[in-house]
Amino acid sequence: MKDIKLLDCTLRDGGYVNDWEFGHNNISSIFERLVDTDVEMIEVGFLDERRPFDINRTIMPDAIDTNKVFGSIEKRPEIVDAMIDFGTCTLPHIQPASETFIDCIRVIFKEHLMYDALEFCGELKKLGYLATAQLVSVTTYTDEKLKELCDLANKVKPYAVSMVDTYGLLTPEKLIHIYSVLDKYLDPEIYIGFHAHNNFQLAYANARAFVDFVPEDPEELENFNKRGILVDATLFGMGKSAGNCPLELLAMHLNEHHEKHYKINPMLEAIDESIMDFYAKNPWGYKTYFYLCALNKCHPNYVKQFQKKVNLSVSDVNNILGEIEPEPKKLLYDAEIGERTYDDYSSQYLFDGDSYERLSKDLKGRDILLIGPGKNIQLQNDKVRNYIEEKKPAIISINYIPGEFNVDYVFVTNSHRYLTLTDSLLEIKNREVKIIATTNVSSKNKPFDFVVMREPLLEANEKIKDNSFLMLLKVLKNCGVTEISCAGFDGYSDVEDNYFNPRMEYSFIKQEALHLNQHIRQALVTDFSSMKINFITYSRYQETEDINLGAI
């Protein structure tokens, strides 16, 4: 039977969720629950000399500090370990193993540091520790580099060499290939380990593939059967980014298929009494964000960088990630590369000069009526109809299509509003309605008629930076429009619904109503003084509490 050791790293990897501040009661309770599960190894946190000691946190500056946090606990698993990100905890901060609570230190390092990191593992062995070499971002290693790593490891003889799927890029097939290379070249007394991340929802599947794998070639079985393996997991998958392989799932599988006898109830108790509180405050797990990182094989900071760009839709973020220089550079974040890639993409795909020119030609010489979603579009319907019959204007609605009026254009400013237009657009598919969209919205079925850059249309330092009314006024001003009529722009109220359709309501409007009205009144006077703006239906933007709107 294969020697499999299950390693729980909740107190270490889970710390990315809460800055390792579990609280000492939770730390002790989680550890005791894990001991009761009979997992073979428990990781108690990071050793990092840059961090001050805090008994409520599982990140400690010195190895001896583990005694202060865990020393009063009686029961222990087979092996207790801590982790060092190579370079963050030097030898003066690592006391001999015989003096500390821990038996093993796992050293994580990137490929270019493998010589120095393996030498460091050798020094840890001299201090009495089991030392493991953790191959960060193992997907960046070629087969040749893996062989080179194995040659180093065979000289140092760490307790284990572990594959770390840092960015959740592995599939079971790729994992087994790397595993097979390590198994071929590593001395059989060195364990092989695996640490999964869940960006592709494959953490559990990959962990199962790892523990279940048996070579088909009989010649490979001799070494394979001699070797032990370590597999990482955390309670409820708690951990960095998309999270890890859930301990309770993997333990169940090992019990059912590998003759293990892990106790599941203590895992469930730990999840219920400790872990779920952290999940409620800062949930982890599979998210579009982490999927984009893995899909494009890039560092998560690139996704953060591009998500801050207000001009981009989620499709644009995905596209631009694909434009970054190929791996391994994509996994080594460089803000300048990100900015350069964004600028290139923007100039090629987001430039909006043509849209303004074409829209200006469309609107030239026509009266223009803007229709908003305020309740007065229905309450004062007759006024609107009379205006339309008299002026025959070009009608532009904002983020919705009013059923009672045949609009010519719809201005769309975010993907959620675009979603609410789906049925309305299908109902009027036999009537030509053109869509003016900002760059953060991605089209369905066919391209938008006009696309305008979002960033120049936003308000500075406002609760609602993307006020769609002011945004559309800026678009029309850029098109040279000098006179506009408006209906259904009631302004904001702190005591009643602001839209005829309550589903369009922003949750924070009622707390900000007076401030928003004042800001928009001020903008109409200062930013749009060259435009004549006529309100057909009642609007709070016409009120003159502290601003004289003059002719408006």
pLDDT at 492: 79
pLDDT at 508: 44
Least confident of 30-39, 262-271, 417-426: 417-426
**pLDDT tens for each residue of 279-291:** 999 999 988 888 8
| Bigger pLDDT: 467 vs 202 | 202
pLDDT at 429: 65
pLDDT at 506: 46
Least confident of 171-185, 396-410, 445-459, 503-517: 503-517
pLDDT at 511: 57
How many whole angstroms separate alpha carbon 69 and alpha carbon 546? 61
pLDDT at 552: 35
Residue 503 pLDDT exceeds 80: no
| Bigger pLDDT: 46 vs 490 | 46
How many whole angstroms separate alpha carbon 307 and alpha carbon 24? 36
Residue 546 pLDDT exceeds 70: no
H runs (alpha helix) in 312-379: 314-321, 335-345, 353-363, 376-379
pLDDT at 425: 80
Sheet holding 532-535, edge to edge: 450-452, 434-438, 409-412, 394-398, 368-371, 483-487, 532-535
Percentage of the residues of the chain whose pLDDT score is greater than 90: 66
For the segment 299-316, the average pLDDT, to the nearest whole number, is 88
**pLDDT tens for each residue of 144-166:** 999 999 999 999 999 999 999 99
Least confident of 112-126, 462-476, 497-511: 497-511
pLDDT at 351: 67
Residue 509 pLDDT exceeds 70: no
Total-model pTM: 0.76
pLDDT at 30: 96
**pLDDT tens for each residue of 446-468:** 889 999 999 999 987 666 678 89
Is residue 103 within 8 Å of residue 82, measured between CB atoms? no
**pLDDT tens for each residue of 61-99:** 999 999 999 999 989 999 999 999 999 999 999 999 999
**pLDDT tens for each residue of 389-415:** 999 999 999 998 888 889 999 999 988
pLDDT at 106: 98
pLDDT at 430: 58
How many whole angstroms separate alpha carbon 179 and alpha carbon 175? 6
Cis peptide before 328 (omega within 30 of 0): yes
What are residue 119's phi and psi, to 5 degrees?
-65, -40
What contacts 233, CB < 8 A, 6 or more positions away?
6, 7, 8, 9, 207, 244, 245, 246, 247, 249, 250, 251
Count other Cβ atoms within 10 Å, centred on residue 534: 13
Q: Print the SS3 string covering 452-495.
A: ECCHHHCCCCCCCCCCHHHHHHHHHHHCCCCEEEEECCCCCCCC
Residue 19 pLDDT exceeds 90: yes
Residue 60 pLDDT exceeds 70: yes
Angle at 91 between CA 86 and CA 96, to 5 degrees: 120
Is residue 160 within 8 Å of residue 230, measured between CB atoms? yes
- Token pair of 332, please? 């080594």
pLDDT at 402: 87
